[in-house]
Amino acid sequence: MMTLDLAERTHGGKIRNLSGKEAGELAREHFNLDELDDAEGPITVLVPKEVYNLSPSFFCGMFGASYAKLGEGKLLSHYQFKSVPEFISKQVHFGVKLCSETYN
């Protein structure tokens, strides 16, 4: 099973607030999501425990093109946010909502 670790985007834990569409787009490039959208099987997305914010704009920058390609249901079954705190789950939900408003 493949894993994306957002710790790679925190500069060694210095960044605890993942925000901004541009930062999300850079993360998309970093993880090569254009190719991973077509990969077999689910991909686990890890959010480091020190991250307190995963903003909707960051989420949409990172996963917006995936949303447009896969749709909401397939996006969240393909990229699975496992073992994240409830507040991060809510932020992912708001990110999906922003994508739905942006790409529908």
| Angle formed at CA 19 by CA 54 and CA 40, multiple of 5 degrees | 60
Q: Are 88 and 59 in contact (CB under 8 A)?
A: no
Q: Are 49 and 86 in contact (CB under 8 A)?
A: no
Q: Are 63 and 98 in contact (CB under 8 A)?
A: no
Q: What is the model's pLDDT at position 3? A: 94
Q: 24-42: per-residue pLDDT in tens?
A: 999 999 999 999 999 998 9
Q: pLDDT tens, position by position, for the chain (104 residues)?
A: 799 999 999 999 899 999 999 999 999 999 999 999 999 989 999 999 999 999 999 999 999 999 999 999 899 999 999 889 999 999 999 999 999 999 87
Burial class, 25, CB count within 10 angstroms (exposed 0-12 / middle 13-18 / buried 19+): middle
